[in-house]
Homo-oligomer: A and B are copies of this chain.
Amino acid sequence: MTETTEGHAAHGYTPEKANYLRRLKLIEGQTRGIARMVEEDKYCIDILTQISAIQSALKAVSLGLLEDHLDHCVAQAAARGGEEAEQKLDEAMAAIRRMTK
Contacts and interface: CB of A to CB of B under 8 A. Distances in A.
Interface of A: 1, 8-14, 17, 20-21, 24-25, 27-28, 31-32, 34-35, 38-41, 43-45, 47-49, 51-52, 54-56, 58-59, 61-63, 65-71, 73-76, 78-79, 81, 85-86, 89, 91-93, 95-101
Contact of A73 (B44, B61, B98): B44
Given A34-B24, A48-B99, A61-B51, A67 B93 contact: yes
The quantity of this chain's copies bound in the complex is 4
Contact of A74 (B47, B54, B78): B78
Contacts of A31: 24, 27-28, 31
